[in-house]
Structure 1
Amino acid sequence: MDENIKEQSNVGIVKISDEVVSIIAGLAASEIEGIAGISAGLVGEITQILSGKKNLSKGVKVTVAEESATIDLFIVVEYGVSIPEVCDKVQRNVIKSVETMTGLKVSAVNIYVQNVIFPKTNIEGSKEE
């Protein structure tokens, strides 16, 4: 687990793990309407099924430099939404959340749309809520 020095003072050193930044980014992305989920890929999904644990940093790759972070998000969107609008909202929310909670400057949020999820329908053909 990579840790980065965030602040050094007379009291001590504060280190923020890359995984913490990943979890913050994943949660911030999932808050946006139109996001069906974060994609962990086949290996991540199998691991989650076998372990029974939900990995909140799945589908998020963080690269932290001295005072900045680059975040790659692999997302799944709902059918019918404007993908560019949803991605813009995700980028803005991730930047705001990570910068507010960690103090790191986010230099880039790269979004990779991995899949589109269609709404579930029941036997009669109407949408399930």
Structure 2
Amino acid sequence: MKGHMNTEMGEIIIDNEVVAKYAGSAAVECFGIVGMAAVNVKDGLVKLLKRESISRGVNVEIDNDNMNIDMHIIVAYGVSITAVTENLISNVKYKVEEFTGLKAGTINVYVEGVRILD
């Protein structure tokens, strides 16, 4: 289901892909995040996504003006995963709520890998 809001001037419908791209962009701005991950369930392989396909690492479900977001990330080696994910959730929640006007429900973070930065 898409994000749906009624205003006094008309109706606003937000596609899940738009929210996913925005959430992915907000995520990679966070300290300690190397990038978004695509998981191949069949092979169990994790792939670091390029900037153009960042939304593939994000799954958004919108129901009754409430968003649930799943994010698959790769973190930098040597950082505190707890600190990075708490910062990520806070940052994405704030930015997506401001961007869409919808309330963020749950934001689930799946750490799919660790990468040593060059």
The interval holding the TM-score normalised by the smaller chain is 0.7 to 0.9
Displacement of 1:42: 4.1
1:42-61 matches, cutoff 5 A: 42=40, 54-61=52-59
Q: Counterparts of 2:56 and 2:6 in 1: how far apart (Å)? A: 27
The amino acid across from 1:3 in the alignment is: K
Structure 1: 5+ residue stretches without partners: 121-129
Is the 8 Å Cα contact of residues 3 and 65 (structure 2) preserved in structure 1? no
Is the 8 Å Cα contact of residues 75 and 111 (structure 2) preserved in structure 1? yes
**Other-structure match for 1:37:** 35
Per-residue Cα deviation, 1:32-61 (whole angstroms, up to 9, x for no partner): 01100000124995xx79xxx821312100
Per-residue Cα deviation, 1:62-116 (whole angstroms, up to 9, x for no partner): 1101111010000000000000000000000000011000011001110000000
Displacement of 1:3: 2.8
Structure 2: 5+ residue stretches without partners: none
Rg larger for:
1
2:15 to 14, 17, 26: 17
Q: Counterparts of 2:3 and 2:90 in 1: how far apart (Å)? A: 23
Q: Percent identity?
A: 36
RMSD: 2.2
1:96 to 89, 94, 97: 94
SS of residue paired to 1:99: helix
Q: Counterparts of 1:119 and 1:100 in 2: how far apart (Å)? A: 31
User: 1 or 2, which has the higher strand percentage?
Assistant: 2
**Other-structure match for 1:123:** none
Q: Are 1:110 and 2:113 matched, yes or no? A: no
TM-score (norm 2): 0.86
How many matched pairs?
113
Displacement of 1:7: 2.2
SS of residue paired to 1:71: strand
